[in-house]
Amino acid sequence: MAITMKDIAQRTGVSIGTVDRALNNRGRINPEVASRIRKVAQEMGYKTNSVAKSLAIRNKKLKIAVVLHIQRNNNYYEEVEAGIREAEQDIFDFGIQLTIYRGIGFDPQDQLRQLELAVSNGANAIVLVPIDSPLIRDKVTQLQQAGIPVVFLTNFMENIPVFSSIRCNYRRSGQIAAGLLRVLAREPGDVLVFSTSFSMLGHRRRVEALQAQLAISCPQLTIRKVVELPEGELDCYQLVKDALAEYPCPYLVYNGNAKAGIRAIQEAPHPISSIFYDLSPSAREALSAGIIDAVIFQNPRQQGYRAVNILFEYLTAGTIPVKPVELVECNVLLRESIQELSQP
């Protein structure tokens, strides 16, 4: 039987209200009494019951705000959002409301506005896919000083303390691509690398790690060129097409609009072994059809879920994350990982 505030009230001879004040540092209590209560609670191994707590604080109508910048047609972000929504379901019965605010594109000014809107709507905690800009940095610092914890999701910034930061293990993600090249490459050759916006720190890290690890894992492969890709499918397609024409490499690592990449590969006059990031429906199809060779899956859904979950645990149980950064691992998918099973 778990021990309750009532138990420790009886044990210390005070009322349960006093125990509450002591344990939650609410002030208006004799410091000595408070410390005695805390000591007893400690001894008895008291843990606050988060179920009872959240039922009680229900009328505080706690709000978690999620601030995203819209990525249109981006399966990765759709999945991140699916994870957020899943978490929303799970916290619903606890009376915690979740609202998603969408900024437009990579505009820090707009993101700042979203943050301020969230706060003015009474957000008690914020999940943020941050745009790295002084504007945002300052705002985040300010929010946290005001007691509003911020957790970074997917993207991040350096040198700014934040309640938690959850993202995929970008370095690992690059490293795994190197491993896959090691396994897939039948003969020496050049590698072409494509990546979405390097204004996102993680994307840079991923490519760096790929380069570093490739030199170790598979020195007979050399990266011929790294191409930064835009958002739109058409622009993206043209860039890939051009790059492939200029450098007809047999190996390719691709992060970007999947459709564009797949199309360019299919149209290339030379055979290409390719590794794609993220499992969009088109990537899934291409993998299954043997057009691309492997997919590195970065668990976007899990990331979204966890970011909300971490704030939920803070709000309901006061849990402070043990690690300031939580890295979600990546998986390797081959054709056989997703293909229809031959037997049901």
Residues that bind DNA in the complex, under the rule CB under 7 A: 2, 4-6, 13-18, 20-21, 23-24, 26, 28-31, 33-34, 48-49, 52-53, 55-60, 95
Counted residue by residue, the chain has a size of 344
Binds 86, which of a second copy, DNA, none (CB < 5 to 8 A, cut-off by type)?
none
Binds 301, which of a second copy, DNA, none (CB < 5 to 8 A, cut-off by type)?
none
Q: Which span (119-127, 178-186, 191-199, 224-232) binds a second copy, by CB under 8 A?
A: 178-186
Tell me, rounded to whole angstroms, the distance of Cα 303 from its chain centroid: 4
Write the CB contacts of 37 (distance below 8 Å, at least 6 apart in sequence).
8, 12, 14, 18, 19, 22, 23
Handedness of CA 289, 291, 292, 298 (dihedral sign): negative
What Cα–Cα distance (Å) separates residue 242 from each residue in 55, 83, 325?
59, 36, 38
Q: Minimum distance between the CB of residue 11 and DNA, rounded to whole angstroms?
A: 12
Is-contact 300 80, C-beta < 8 A? Answer: yes
Letters for 87-116 (x = contact with a second copy by CB under 8 A, - = none) are -----xxxx---------------------
What Cα–Cα distance (Å) separates residue 319 from each residue in 163, 164, 195, 310, 334?
11, 12, 36, 8, 38
- Residue 123 binds to a second copy (criterion: CB under 8 A): no
Edge-to-edge strand ranges of the sheet holding 164-168: 97-103, 63-69, 125-128, 150-153, 164-168, 325-328
Binds 206, which of DNA, a second copy, none (CB < 5 to 8 A, cut-off by type)?
none
- Residue 325 binds to a second copy (criterion: CB under 8 A): no
Q: Minimum distance between the CB of residue 146 and DNA, rounded to whole angstroms?
A: 18
Instruction: List residues binding a second copy (CB under 8 A).
Output: 2, 49-52, 54-55, 92-95, 171-172, 175-176, 178-180, 182-184, 186, 208-209, 212-213, 216-217, 293, 317, 329-337, 339, 341-343
